Homo-oligomer: A and B are copies of this chain.
Amino acid sequence: MNTSADELEQIARRASDAAPAWAAISPSVRAAALVAAAEALEEAGPRLVAIGMDETGLSQARLTGELKRTAVQLRLFAEVVLDGAYLDVRIDEADSDFALGVRPDLRRYQIPVGPVVNFAASNFPFAFSVAGGDTASALAAGNPVIVKAHSGHPSLSAHTAKVVAGALEAAGAPLGTLQLISGQEAGVAMLKHPLVAAGSFTGSIRVGRMLADIAAARSAPIPFYGELGSVNPAFVTQAALVEQAAAIADGFVTSVSASAGQFCTKPGFLFVPVGHGMGERLAAKAVAVDEHRMLNPGIATGFRDRRSAILNTPGIIILAEGMLRFDDFGQGWATPTIVSISVADLLAQRETLTDEAFGPLSIVVEYNPDDDLAAVADQLFEGSLTGTVHMGSGEDTARLRSLIQWLTQHAGRVLFGGWPTGVAVSPAMQHGGPWPSTTNDTSTSVGTAAIARFLRPVSYQGAPQELLPEPLRDDNPWAVPQHRNLAGDSLTWGDFARPVDVHP
């Protein structure tokens, strides 16, 4: 089951051998290979979904939707490859009038970093696993990918890797463009391998931190992008409560309980004004949720312990107790647990309560009209992937602006209404916030901007046209966007009179 040391060596070498060819391949071929992978996934869909249901306990509807998302993601990155803007081509024309003296001809773009090891997630067996977002973005950037399969869905991982690697190679990708390894030790060994140039990960704070430390401690350190734990606080203003208490209560429970709450974007805290009157509706909605299997016995055990600690914390009031039971196979089955607490008690118990509870549990926090929510949040939380505010239509107060400012400083995505568990795969998505929600908040793991993680810049100075890579050439054979900085530009610096600041 675990990949042996010999196999790891062969896999690393194969990835390294594949790297130059995959990096140099034309955009149309690389894009077509990504589309071929998407088509192959879709074709194998029903078979893969059945394996996934068995291994993860996730529903057919959920997995079918996730597979579609995974295929669309590959198609979206094909568009990114064809577009070419991600190469960030900058051409400085030679300039004898440059402010600092003669400037040479300089041409800079982004090149692939080299083989990437991607640690797959338990909770997204398609979208954050073998052919998921990290794989798609690394492949699109021109890097071979080695996926460390998650132990929670080994058969699905093997089948997916076969389907996708086969499709890539049939479409012209070199052998070794996508490979699979298994076992925690194997993953660690690969992250340490000198031929590996970057790492990505989706999972717990504990494991993510361990891997980030390993990447940083290498004799040659490499970039490591870990997406870890997040509590995703949501805040409801008095005005929002007046306008739409019922919709908020219903949406909240749905967001907390979908897929047994096993989302990194699950709202872990909902701040509502005291006297909100939502208790009964929250309870009724929660009780109506069918029990859902948890992903694996380890996650279920972790949830059992976390839930129990929360239920036994002073100040906690149970709105919907929910339950967790284990079946004969050791699998956990859960219904949602919703509790409430006052701001004062939460502050007093923050050591116990503010860590993520991975599963269908959330804490409703009752605040007083004069509480400064930004100040309260600042005492409670580190970084999150998301932060949400529900406000009244047209509401705009200093307190609200201060809360939005706090959310901006502590999250990667700030939602105005809605719930964070839907994550659009699009150019403007940001999935990644301050520690501990990620190990590195300067990038995203969802959306097309993710491609930037697996690139590094290089400049060519004074190169003859025929020795330049295609994207940097004047005849621009790949038709990529080129930003030219013209000779003489610096002569117009300091022309600050233009009206760029009409609302100072």
Contacts and interface: CB of A to CB of B under 8 A. Distances in A.
A90 B427 contact: yes
Contacts of A69: 100
Given A72-B100, A429-B108, A223 B440 contact: yes
Contacts of A68: 100
B26 A504 contact: yes
Contacts of A459: 412-414, 428-430
A99 interface: yes
Interface in A404-437: 404-405, 408, 411-418, 422, 424-430, 432, 434-436
Interface stretch (A29-37, A117-125, A339-347): A29-37
A417 B500 CA distance: 41
A478 B499 CA distance: 9
Contacts of A82: 496, 498, 500
Interface stretch (A240-248, A285-293, A464-472): A464-472
A120 to B, nearest CB: 21
A391 to B, nearest CB: 9
B496 A457 contact: no
Contacts of A92: 424, 426-429
Residues of A in contact with B, size category = 35 or more
A502 interface: yes
A330 interface: no
A52 to B, nearest CB: 18
A418 B104 contact: yes
A60 interface: no
- Highest count of chain B CB atoms <10 Å: which of A28, A90, A416, A461: A461
A207 interface: no
A186 interface: no
A435 B390 CA distance: 46
Contacts of A456: 441-442
Given A90-B427, A113-B442, A479-B500, 17 more contacts: A26-B503, A26-B504, A72-B100, A90-B449, A92-B424, A108-B429, A212-B221, A216-B216, A220-B434, A223-B440, A401-B467, A404-B467, A416-B461, A441-B456, A442-B456, A443-B457, A449-B457
9 contacts: A78-B493, A88-B449, A106-B424, A106-B426, A106-B428, A108-B430, A413-B460, A430-B459, A441-B456
